Structure 1
Amino acid sequence: MPFLHSLPLFVRLHGRPVILLGEGDAADAKRRLLARAGAAIVGEDAPAALAIVAIDDEAEALAAVARFKARGLLVNAVDRPDHCDFTLPAIVDRDPVIVAIGTGGVSAGLAAALRQRLEALLPSTLGALAHALQAGRGTLRARFPDAGERRRAIAAALAPGGSLDPLGDGDPAAWLADPAAPAGDRTETIVLRSADPDDLTLREARLLASADRVFHDADVPPAILDRARADAARIVGSPRIMPGLSIVLRAS
């Protein structure tokens, strides 16, 4: 199974100390980003869990990185991806929805270009939709006591063309007042055309993302299985009738 270069995490920094070392445009950019997150920017000797080194001089920067790592801090070394424990992504902010685009520090320009595309694509109403779903949790739990059924109902509403399509203009309040039940227990079969997950159709990708479990041949590529939800069961062998949505993956 291929490894992720980095595991994306969202860290709450409000009021927490972060060391920022350096001057100039790069340091100023990091300072603005930390300020947006509410972090307390502190000097080198202060206690902290994270440190950002934005120093142009190579030897000076690497010496600072070594000092911080010796203290057990996680370090971001600006423009030196091989020395970074974490990187800072390009961000699309639709509070409380945050979309982060990272390249592992390889190309900030590419991350910025993708961010600009997503800024134009994602509507400003995403935040309100998220808040509406949060406020409707009690209603949804009462309507769908089973967690799997509840998740499938929400997934169906959020699907393209659904009542809560994030890119559409649906009315969350109207759907939450009378949420539609998901389709009943069913099994769908996907016959793969190649080992490339990009060859999945949109429908197939949505099915995998919504499945409760995936029955698959032993030779189905891991990259395809990775398109299923992380908590969906992966089962090698013949499918069995089970509650919820089951997907059967057959290699080409």
Structure 2
Amino acid sequence: MNSLPVFLRLQGRPVILLGEGEARAAKARLLERAGAEIVGEDTDAALAIVAIEDEAEAEAAVVRLKARGVLVNATDRPALCDFTLPAIVDREPVLIAIGTGGASAGLAKALRQRLETLLPPSLGDLATRLFGARAAIRARWPDATARRKAIDAALDGPLDPLSALSEDAVTSWLQSADQAEATALITIVVRSDDPDDLTLGEARLLGRADHVYHSPAVHPAILDRARADAGRTRTSAPPRAFAGLSLYLLGKAQP
């Protein structure tokens, strides 16, 4: 990972925008959607976008801005960029950003278009309703681990974010939700080093597991699909003692 994805709150904050033509207009529309105040080069700001077509003029502007400590995005010039602008799927308040580090804006756009067809319009409403139900969720599951497991199970079932949900879906889930899943150890036989060969069910288990035990043959790319905060133990045999939802990943299956 050569850059850190972040979401910046720009409402009412100044952002320098330099340039002309459609390139500048496109960036202006994006900044306006985020609520930023578009200003000129002489204004104090933390961020700047340089959409100048002339190479020498663009480089000179970037140098001036960086000398002031301003973080700069230079359109179509990834080598000059302190930050890049991703393709965006907007299901407010859910935002999905797709970046390629400036390698290919066309690829990011193509991925965005694919995701647009997969994500229902109700996704943003689901996020809003889950936020509104935080107090009720905490009351139902006071323990943080149990609460996380219950939410994970719901999003893998009755609150599936890729499904069109009714307005009362969250309320119905809270009224009927079972207790969080019991302690379990599940063995998964890894078929290849390619994480895309995992089934949807296996990928979901990896995303929910509290601890992942794995044989030495399991490729790091597979382990990267587990939760970032999940425990990881390299072992040649399944554990005798475990807690929560645990997985044992057995090395690549033999042909």
Decide: shared fold, TM above 0.5. Answer: yes
The Cα offsets for residues 129-182 of structure 1, whole Å up to 9 and x where unpaired, read as 1111111111211211221221111111111xx111112244222112332223
* C-alpha distance in structure 1 between counterparts of 2:147 and 2:242, whole Å: 17
Quote the sequence identity (%).
Answer: 64
In structure 2, the residue corresponding to 1:76 is in which secondary structure? strand
**Displacement of 1:242 after TM fit?**
3.0
Give every structure 1 segment of 4 or more consecutive aligned residues whose post-TM-superposition deviation is greater than 3 Å. none
* C-alpha distance in structure 1 between counterparts of 2:231 and 2:47, whole Å: 35
What is the identity, as a one-letter code, of the residue corresponding to 1:166? P
Aligned pairs, number: 247
- Label 1:240 to 1:59 Cα distance change in 2 as closer, same or farther (>3 A): farther
* C-alpha distance in structure 1 between counterparts of 2:41 and 2:90, whole Å: 30
Structure 1 unaligned spans of 5+? none
* Conserved 8 A contact 1:140-1:179: no
* Conserved 8 A contact 2:120-2:164: no
* C-alpha distance in structure 1 between counterparts of 2:126 and 2:174, whole Å: 11
In structure 2, the residue corresponding to 1:28 is in which secondary structure? helix
Any residues of structure 2 matched to 1:120-135 within 5 Å, and which?
120-135=117-132
* C-alpha distance in structure 2 between counterparts of 1:205 and 1:73, whole Å: 40
* Conserved 8 A contact 1:21-1:27: yes
- TM-score, structure 2 as length reference: 0.91
Which of 20, 29, 32 lines up with 2:29 in the alignment? 32
Any residues of structure 2 matched to 1:124-163 within 5 Å, and which?
124-159=121-156, 162-163=157-158
* Conserved 8 A contact 1:184-1:244: yes
Which residue does the alignment assign to 1:166? Answer: 161
Which of 4, 13, 17 lines up with 1:7 in the alignment? 4
* C-alpha distance in structure 2 between counterparts of 1:219 and 1:69, whole Å: 46
Any residues of structure 2 matched to 1:16-55 within 5 Å, and which?
16-55=13-52
Which residue does the alignment assign to 2:76? Answer: 79
Structure 2 unaligned spans of 5+? none
- TM-score, structure 1 as length reference: 0.92
CA RMSD of aligned residues (A): 1.5
In structure 2, the residue corresponding to 1:79 is in which secondary structure? coil
* Conserved 8 A contact 1:148-1:212: no
Q: Does residue 243 of structure 1 match 2:224?
A: no
Which residue does the alignment assign to 2:112? Answer: 115
**Displacement of 1:240 after TM fit?**
4.7
The Cα offsets for residues 79-115 of structure 1, whole Å up to 9 and x where unpaired, read as 0112111111111111101111112122222222222
* Conserved 8 A contact 2:10-2:35: yes
* Conserved 8 A contact 2:137-2:174: yes
* C-alpha distance in structure 1 between counterparts of 2:65 and 2:49, whole Å: 9
In structure 1, the residue corresponding to 2:111 is in which secondary structure? helix
* C-alpha distance in structure 1 between counterparts of 2:98 and 2:145, whole Å: 29
**Displacement of 1:219 after TM fit?**
4.1
